[in-house]
Structure 1
């Protein structure tokens, strides 16, 4: 009864829930950008009176934490981050099936994500992979503007490209999986090896490379295009590139952790996070993903996925536990150990 009353109040837009204000805290694991995590935490607290303890980590790190805590779960909801580790967590029975009453307001791709995982996760946003470069640095160096994935392997960009480590970052794992799908496994790993020769650093966070590019610490950062756009909007001289060969994309996801100590509150957050009101918060923190609620606000600065050359990304295969582990092990052995 408590769960249904709470969910109903949220869906009706109630902002004062005195009867539930004294409920136990909600432990939120967040894998989106820090500012977005913070506004989600604060806004849910304001909407419900439920205190939220939020931890922000990359999707790969959060998946590892959920896995490590399986026998004694400490988190309740995992919100944000690329869908592949969410799908892996679902496959390993680390997350809880749940069908939200908000489901009829979502885009088909968000629902397809849920159906592929037995309703143990759901799509909350989508975004295409690409890269960005610092236009001022490029001009000073007298270099041509990169337009394709292949350009990033050219010798003139040696030591000027940055991406995250696919073991910790969902963005970087999406990059690895995209190259394998675009070029075949042999061709994809050949590409990653040639790219490795130009990498100056593998970061922990997926968005860190474009922040470094914006600040002039690297010329090129491989990221989701919406993160590059956000860096430009923040005032940095970053140009966003949709690679000419085509590119992969993500379906950012949300999951309830199996054995959550605060299950009622977890489901309440889940329902709230799928509302137009919650998803409209993205634009307040310059998060330019395509949101899963069909009524959510859109920005003309956001990449238009309909105009991009997107691959038919196989989320089921590349989100599977065995395939992810295999690709990461192969990358660790064959790519990361190479000299630069």
Structure 2
């Protein structure tokens, strides 16, 4: 889905996170990738790609909303070539705004139907690499100490017992949190959905920048409950954290993790090769190696035995194209900023 993530060094490239830009990659055999999945995945994928192709990778890890803002700000002078990971809505918005290049990867026929539909819906300006269901994670040790019953539904988070005990990212900077915002509005309708968000606001301890931050805060016991993708919470549990995951009883939305080529990037050939790589079983099997439990888009990719079973989760018919439309996404974010974030807690 915080503590800012450290710089990554890929090959001979020193990354500059403070400046928000990677080193220029203008020479042949180089590619600059803005990465919105876990830092470990970014690092592992870049190393694999370099080894298999000889193309050097400059990798910057940022949250989905931050990458979208950077790609838009750099539209007249793109510094990145590929945007790898994060929920599909910001990718779809960027595609609709002409910030991404069309590319039909030869690996498209290898993908599940839902992934092929995602590419078609974007005019082939983004591709699906994984699915992840939104949910809750709670620190069982904290709740036991405080004598608080574990939440099983979204509505449980409104209980005053969770005052300052719930953490989620800011939807303006985090794709994870935007999926939660859109899921709430779709699930309840806009008026009731924002009433829910206003009530929940009283129990939020912090809106973090990155969607993964509430996951780590829950694992460390810095918050009792985190709202994030279930597979990210499971990763922490498998690493020994006292986390239990919940697919809320009312139903939940999901992310279609995406990868896109940035329009006007300096290394389009290398960018296409990198996208092909991300759609391959080899790249998607990184998840199993790192115990990351999202659902891969390539039919031949391995599925972790610990991955959430979508057949056991009550999913809403989440409308990714609608919530990724520029007008709708921008409107919802503005309304959240003015109607929810400004309220006292």
TM-score after normalising by structure 1:
0.93
CA contact (8 A) 2:231 2:307 kept: yes
1:142 and 2:147 aligned:
yes
Q: Secondary structure at the match of 2:189?
A: helix
Aligned to 2:205: 200
Corresponding residue for residue 258 of structure 2? 253
Aligned to 1:79: 84
Which residue pairs with 1:113 in the alignment? 118
**Residues 1-340 of structure 1: pairs in structure 2 closer than 5 A:** 23-340=28-345
d(CA) in 2 for partners of 1:264, 1:327 = 36
Tell me, in whole angstroms, the C-alpha distance in 1 between the residues paired with 2:71 and 2:295.
26
Measure, in 2, the Cα distance between the counterparts of 1:245 and 1:206.
Answer: 22
CA distance in structure 2 between the partners assigned to 1:270 and 1:217 by the alignment: 37
2:19 matched residue in structure 1:
none
- The DSSP-based 3-state class of the residue aligned with 2:77 is coil
Q: Name the CA distance, whole Å, in 2 between partners of 1:102 and 1:313.
A: 25
TM-score, normalised with respect to structure 2: 0.91
Structure 2 unmatched ranges of 5 or more: 1-26
* Corresponding residue number in structure 1 for 2:9: none
Q: 1:335 aligns to what SS in structure 2? A: helix
Q: Distance in 2 between matches of 1:142 and 1:339?
A: 27
The answer (yes or no) to whether the contact 1:275–1:293 under 8 Å persists in 2 is yes
Gap runs ≥5 in structure 1: 1-21
Task: Name the CA distance, whole Å, in 2 between partners of 1:284 and 1:133.
Answer: 25
Runs of 4 or more above 2 Å deviation: none
* Cα deviation code 1:294-326 (max 9, x no counterpart): 110011211111221111111111001110110
